[in-house]
Structure 1
Amino acid sequence: MKFSFSSEQEEFRSNLRRFLAERSPTKEVRRLMETDAGWERDAWRKLNAELGLTAVRIPEAYGGQGFGFGELGIVLEEAGRALLCAPLFSTAVLATGAILNVGTEAEKQALLPGIAAGDTNATLAWVEDPAHWDAAATTTTARRSGKSYKLDGFKSYVIDGHTADLIVVLARKPGSKGENGLSLFTVAGNAEGLSRHALKTMDTTRKLARLEFKSVKATLLGDAGTAAAPFARTMIEAAICLANEMAGVAERLREDALDYAKMRMQFGRPIASFQSMKHKQADMLIDVELAKSAAYYAAAALDDGDDDVPAVASLAKAAASEACLQTAIHAIQIHGGIGFTWDNDTHLWFKRAKSSEVLLGDAHHHRELMMQRWAA
């Protein structure tokens, strides 16, 4: 496959990178990560008004820009590169994907315009303890209550779950098992009976929360009992999007490490001139470029509707997980003693690399999925 971005996409990337460099410098990242929310609503709304980040993938019929996953991948790659502290992944990928994949036309018309405009921040809640990424492990129940439903249970590791205005929740019909009886529901962030607690995490640039539902009023999204296949589709899309984001993180780590090696003097010359350092830099470049290629290919395959998208998604996530974390490890080592300190910024991207490695399943999990999907 010969692949290259169009001139319009490259211009979009260039403008976005320049914009995020101004709006999300390391100083701002450090400030926001120390706050309880992890982001600021007014600044995020302004950013969306100027760039329309959450609207990229949403069709024009629902107030969006109508682009594909190739463009959304560019957004996420640049956001990862800048370590943008905002509910981008939770809103533009997880919640939007679930609504588009399972919602009725009326539900899309009602929910997506607010997300596209940046007025509604949303997320998807599906993971429970212990952390299982598949839908079959769901224990949260939804029982009918008049024209609505009541949810009982909990969800953990919900991205931006403590601040989301709208929460899309995966729950099952009481007594059902496996992938049978699964449905998606929408819950208001301030719903009665819903308690939200931010979790203490290693990567404070991406906040996670635990949600507890005690007879919480919920609205059915799509048709009852049919959420298994649309949810699986949403997870495939999310894995590809996360792979693109991790490619941006890895690229930033590689470039910062190279710049430091060129500047750091030892024995009267830059350490970048040492043979061992050249080998390490070459290894990092190969790893990052292969991860980027896999992520780009997966996004293009998703836009083209290829039959092997599920396997390609797992391939991209596995490649990005290993490349991103290994690049982070190399970057820390190249910076030497200062690389382990709080004052050095490398640890910010290292923590994002580690948290993203396990998010949606690590490389081992996705290689197993990849083999199962190709065998099928």
Structure 2
Amino acid sequence: MKLVLSPEQRHLREAVRAFLASASPLPKVRDGYDPQVYARLNGELGLSGLIIPEEHSGAGAGMSDLAVALEETGAALLPGPFLATTFAAIALTRVPDKELLTGIAEGRIAATLDGTEVSYDGSAVRGTLAQVLSGMETDVLVAPALTGDGPVMVAVELAGPGVTRTVLETLDITRGQARVVLDGAPARVLGPRPEGGILDRLCVAVAAEQLGVMRASLEAIVGYAKIRVAFGRYIGSYQGVKHKLADMHCKLEQAESIVRYAAWAADESPAELPEAAALAQAYVGRACFEVARDHLLLHGGIGYTWEHDAHLFYKRAKADEVLLGPPRNHRARLAQLLEL
């Protein structure tokens, strides 16, 4: 097991961090999804094709490398369909489709994945998907479908006929969701539905983003504690603040170890992945929200104003915490896997 980043992964982290600091700083995040930033993210860094095999124009990297990139996009609160497209790419590596994988790797296609099962009659699909991640910003939907011959995975053009998309009002203003109704929408079968492994990798991906949110939240409040003066003293000198910051740091350190282990398991030890993925969401999801919440509270009165960036981290943390189901679901799954 290797929990320390390699030199190549450190270079990747620095490249993504520098790009996002320049192209998508926090003040710009409030404006929402910028297609030009997304195009540059793929054109200059090739992030959308990071885990896509080389034969489909991707980099052929593993989950450990993807986790490094997602940590940085999480810390920057990157708006838009990057996480949704990552979800789709993870699924497509288990149900390979040359057209979609190549399009995603080249940045021509933004895709999303939804676990809601739809019905497929041999040419079209029908069903209602209540909350599709980045449903208004993506081109293709990948979803499971039930046919007379068994479960399959299908791809649907979201701008095509038979598709109705409705924007949802979400807690996290940096990442949209949509209600998608499929009523006779043309679809293409990608292959049989994989037995398992996709959800585990999605758990690792979200945990990596949550790790970035935690790190950025802690860095922000530590910086603030060094300059904010109350009653003639820097607030960072008060015992109550120091203890809270120490607790937040401990949560971050534990979360980093859990995420690194889960990403390693996805690449090197598939037998350990189910437990590692369940642990990642059971612990990191809640820890991320607690760090973001305390980061907001320690900012005091200014942290409660809508204009402050603390709200953006708080909302992303809460949205991510329940994105793949509440932590109690993952704790129950972990307990089942451990036969507790």
Report if TM-score (shorter chain) is over 0.5.
yes
Whole-Å separation in 2 of the counterparts to 1:358 and 1:98: 20
Q: Which residue of 2 aligns with 1:36?
A: none
Q: Deviations over 1:149-185 (max 9, x none)?
A: 22111112111112211111222136xxxxx932210
1:218 to 164, 176, 187: 187
1:167 to 121, 125, 141: 141
Q: Which residue of 1 aligns with 2:248?
A: 284
Whole-Å separation in 2 of the counterparts to 1:43 and 1:88: 11
1:354 aligns with 2:318: yes
SS of residue in 2 equivalent to 1:222: strand
Aligned pairs for 1:1-376 within 5 A: 1=1, 3-32=3-32, 39-92=33-86, 94-103=87-96, 108-127=97-116, 138=117, 140-144=118-122, 149-173=123-147, 181-223=150-192, 227=193, 229=195, 232-375=196-339
Whole-Å separation in 2 of the counterparts to 1:101 and 1:303: 14
Task: Quote how far apart the aligned CAs of 1:306 are.
Answer: 3.3
Whole-Å separation in 1 of the counterparts to 2:266 and 2:2: 16
Tell me the amino acid that sits aligned with residue 74 of structure 1: V
Relative to structure 1, the CA distance from residue 247 to residue 18 in structure 2 (aligned partners, 3 Å threshold; closer, same or farther) is: same
Tell me the amino acid that sits aligned with residue 114 of structure 1: G
Whole-Å separation in 1 of the counterparts to 2:155 and 2:228: 53
SS of residue in 1 equivalent to 2:178: strand
Task: Give the alignment's Cα RMSD to 1 decimal.
Answer: 1.5
Contact map agreement 1:311 1:371 (CA 8 A) in 2: no
Whole-Å separation in 2 of the counterparts to 1:15 and 1:220: 37
Whole-Å separation in 2 of the counterparts to 1:4 and 1:42: 33
Whole-Å separation in 2 of the counterparts to 1:73 and 1:235: 15
Q: Deviations over 1:94-143 (max 9, x none)?
A: 1111211123xxxx22221110011111111224xxxxxxxxxx3x2111
Q: Which residue of 2 aligns with 1:133?
A: none
Tell me the amino acid that sits aligned with residue 296 of structure 2: I
Tell me the amino acid that sits aligned with residue 79 of structure 2: C
Q: Sequence identity, in percent?
A: 37
Tell me the amino acid that sits aligned with residue 56 of structure 1: L
Tell me the amino acid that sits aligned with residue 111 of structure 1: L
Contact map agreement 1:182 1:228 (CA 8 A) in 2: no
Task: Quote how far apart the aligned CAs of 1:267 are.
Answer: 2.0
Task: Quote how far apart the aligned CAs of 1:248 are.
Answer: 0.2
Task: Quote how far apart the aligned CAs of 1:228 are.
Answer: 5.1
Task: Quote how far apart the aligned CAs of 1:2 are.
Answer: 5.3
TM-score, with length taken from structure 2? 0.96
Whole-Å separation in 1 of the counterparts to 2:137 and 2:297: 36
Q: Which residue of 2 aligns with 1:132?
A: none
Contact map agreement 2:168 2:176 (CA 8 A) in 1: yes
Contact map agreement 1:308 1:374 (CA 8 A) in 2: no
Task: Quote how far apart the aligned CAs of 1:18 are.
Answer: 1.4
Whole-Å separation in 2 of the counterparts to 1:2 and 1:12: 17
Whole-Å separation in 2 of the counterparts to 1:126 and 1:2: 31
Whole-Å separation in 2 of the counterparts to 1:27 and 1:333: 21
SS of residue in 1 equivalent to 2:332: helix
SS of residue in 2 equivalent to 1:209: strand
Whole-Å separation in 2 of the counterparts to 1:284 and 1:13: 22
SS of residue in 1 equivalent to 2:338: helix
Whole-Å separation in 2 of the counterparts to 1:78 and 1:23: 13
Q: Which residue of 2 aligns with 1:131?
A: none
Task: Quote how far apart the aligned CAs of 1:46 are.
Answer: 2.2
SS of residue in 2 equivalent to 1:211: strand
Q: Deviations over 1:291-312 (max 9, x none)?
A: 1110111001111033120111
Tell me the amino acid that sits aligned with residue 167 of structure 1: L
Contact map agreement 1:194 1:211 (CA 8 A) in 2: yes
Whole-Å separation in 1 of the counterparts to 2:35 and 2:307: 27
SS of residue in 2 equivalent to 1:71: helix
SS of residue in 2 equivalent to 1:169: strand
Contact map agreement 2:30 2:173 (CA 8 A) in 1: no
Task: Quote how far apart the aligned CAs of 1:288 are.
Answer: 1.0
Whole-Å separation in 1 of the counterparts to 2:142 and 2:130: 13
